Amino acid sequence: MRLFLFVLVLLGAAAPVLAQVPPPSAELNAAFEAARIASPTAPQLEAEQREWLHYRALDEYGYGADGDDGRILDLNRRAQRDQALQEVTVTSPEGLGTCMGSALKGCSSRAAGWLTSPAGDRLFWQLQDGFTDENGITGGFMLLSGGAAGPVRPRTWAFEGYRYEAPTLMMVEGQMYVAVAGRMQGTGNGNADALFRWTPDAARPLVQIDNWSWREQLAEQLPTGLEVWKGVDYRYADSEVWAWTKLWQPNDGNCCPSGGEAMLSFEIRDDAVVLSGVNVQQPLLDAAMTCSVITGRARKAMTPTVRPGSARPSASCDARPNRRTVRP
């Protein structure tokens, strides 16, 4: 009997911990579905929603479903914005000098132009800068195309970044891709990059490429104790994608990574960017490992003399960069 009562007490104490956040409401699900249907970048919105639902279920701060109203409002805004942009047209490329649509307040277009395929097809683009009431200073881009005689209209766009750069045309194994580099706001300096498969004559000429899921593969390919805390610097060459990043150690400040750096190599498979190689350079770790096997007397003997005006060496013994290449 005492054991039974003890178990009941434990269950009662654990009840608040075991309490679950109620499932998403029908209104929330409907708002997401409307935004997904209207979005030209639906795969990314779906990934964002999965992440949002994941943290909602964790309920780390005990907010429960309190954030649902804000999420519904955001999804409704996106749906209205994207539905309106689908109706926008421009009769000539000269019209790209003025912001298309009304996604941003105080909008200005600092650059516009077009990409040309080997067959002569044109893909027009426009960069936008402005602000929104929700996010403050915001950037955006549009990619546009038209028929032989019809008006040019937006095919895809994004306004999630702080700033975007002019798009780049790539040719990978005979397939054209269009990459748009971008950055998010905040100290995390996250990626707002977008990548699309371009097939001019297709019903959907631009198909978004998943360029975010590869991060799930990164941790297991980095040496223990090294992490990537911020966005990476993508490089879009004529026929390949790679990226460069600093590496952080657990005790580093957000501002000051000390774990070296890494070059990340990618392939594009099945409309997704796949991490194919990690080349890690760890000069501090290599210096520490090298010095640890040198006796104090030998280390002193190897310490170079620093002459006035000369650069001071980074370590008192051989500190050759340690490069480690990892491939899945």
Nearest to 191 by CA among 157, 219, 233: 233
pLDDT score for 309? 39
Q: How many other β-carbons are positioned within 10 Å of the β-carbon of residue 171?
A: 12
CA distances from 34 to 66, 77, 159 (A): 21, 10, 18
Residues ≥6 apart with Cβ < 8 Å to 232: 191, 243, 244, 245, 264
H/E segment holding residue 288: helix 283-291
If DSSP codes are grouped into helix, strand and coil, which group holds residue 244? Answer: strand
Q: How far apart are alpha carbons 127 and 125 in whole angstroms?
A: 7
pLDDT score for 19? 59
Instruction: Report the amino acid identity of residue 206.
Output: L
Please give the structure tokens belonging to residue 182: 């971008």
If DSSP codes are grouped into helix, strand and coil, which group holds residue 6? Answer: helix
Quickly list H helices, 19-119. 26-38, 42-58, 68-85
- The answer to whether residues 82 and 39 touch, using CB atoms and an 8 Å cutoff, is yes
Residues ≥6 apart with Cβ < 8 Å to 104: 128, 129, 130, 131, 132, 138, 140, 159
* Per-block mean pLDDT, blocks of 10 residues, the chain (328 long): 48 51 96 98 97 93 88 98 96 88 96 96 97 96 83 94 97 97 90 98 96 95 94 94 96 94 97 97 58 40 37 38 47
Q: How far apart are alpha carbons 159 and 96 in whole angstroms?
A: 17
Q: How far apart are alpha carbons 190 and 211 in whole angstroms?
A: 13
Q: What is the DSSP secondary structure assignment for residue 93, as one 8-state letter? A: G
